[in-house]
Structure 1
């Protein structure tokens, strides 16, 4: 019988760690503060999470939850352990990561949930809160726990490696090249003998006789030049090539890859720059927008988990913003709340309903009343979106100035309003 995958265990495990890191009085105060609904947007980065809360004197408290990140070696061991599972794509291939992975037995003995000693709190509310938990920083931790109850991906970022790294590994089924070091101590068998716990590096006996080096082989002579006949016709293949053996791509895919290499070489020869794709998914949409990649559009949709409408919107995102625009469409990511706060202040004079609620979440600012959404990209530009039919879709006009991107979204929405 298969085990049902749930995600609620992430929130319970993090809440337990928070309870151990702060006393009960402060935890209760943090819960009451969170219940008021005054928390600002949650921003998750590698090693820390932030938010903000209004204070009675008009100031703003900016709590920060600091968490020890895992090392690159530890993350490699965790990813290898997850990728080795037959159900890896099901339990970790989407934002709904199974809470089975809260058990270190499934992550190479390395816990993804931080231990109480891995958690520290700071806040600007009082000098004392800079060194010990306060209700604001505890409320921030509880806000994070509530967020990962259904989508635990931010916890991966908090611990040092965004979840999309694991998703890419699972999508491509690529193993790391070259041997890796052994995983850290907790991964070794607790009952192993000292001899078994030693590394596999060979020891050198200084009394052993040395083996003389073999003499180098003489270099092969350079052949004499040959006259080539470049004018006479040459025979072509009289039949189709045999299909390549598994796991190589089929002949159609190899032909498309060759055509793409020719296209990229031609672009460079013409003096144009090649688009720099930040990830495999944005490079995939670049590929299918070209004539030689168009036949693989359905395969790309299946790979990215998009329907025909979503693929159309992704193509528009690439057309308007290039690879970074496509990456912004595909997956949200966390940015510092100060970036969102500055952008919100810049667009405030342009909003038709100035008192309506603006939602700031991940890298997105949503003005639902105006039908406008701005998404911040890794290239420092804001990408405008509108939702004429209830689904956010990209429109032209990305800009480093959020006000300009907001104007572009409003301008793109005018033809639709006139049509109504």
Structure 2
């Protein structure tokens, strides 16, 4: 198998409103493409193509992402790293054993990308790093077909960060071989049974479960004045969840007392309310949108209005970062996402997770309105 050319089957049609890029590096990929575009109507069409399964199989090779859209051929070119840049990048990976383990586990650590940037290596694409081309007559940059290819590529990147490294010029075998060359000891075969011999034995039956053990081991807390055992059990479970989020970068390391109270309430379903819903849908950025209005950059709002006008949607009442249409409202966050809200007895409640496109966010608000 040629690891320098990887093929992926066509994505089947997705549900309406299916999200792109759940990983932070996948979102960075989409941002690089969207920030280059001057036509949000084409981006909207690209999202529709990506979700409806219009594209054929995707081929990934160094510097090139390609697919077909009917009889059209669509390609997105990505600048490859030079040999000198790869040497510096591999030095950063080899400097910490956890980096290569994270990549193999399907993760792209923030600190690895930051270390690469310190070594003057732009691992993640920025504005202008993606160069689309297509057989269609569309003059957009990207056109709707190239945009669809980029959106679908974000799903590939979510599953395997080595796809990004291949686009930058090196396949997984190249990388692992060069890392082993930097640490010859790691190239020695580990003692044990060869893989082909182990698989020849088949799958043995699972051992019987041990007897005399409870189904789970709860945290045992002795009652004491002012120390409710149930509350301590919740706090212990929450500490474990918080540690996981900190390690994964899912939430900021520093939270205010108020933010942490809302996070704790939302995580363990201790109560409900607009602030709690805001955290569940958007974390700290979602809570910030719920709590405070702000004045977004004019160019961000201009792009959003272009997308809105292309759909012939009703005129909005705009106040700072808030757009209101009847009993529905969109709020633009500092993270570049639109948060949908619905009017619930005179109070605005977050209705769904945020979207980069205000048209999609409004659709989510309309779908959620009857149940919120």
**Alignment TM class, shorter chain as reference:** 0.3 to 0.5
User: TM-score, length-normalised on structure 2?
Assistant: 0.43
User: TM-score, length-normalised on structure 1?
Assistant: 0.38
| Bigger CA radius of gyration | 1
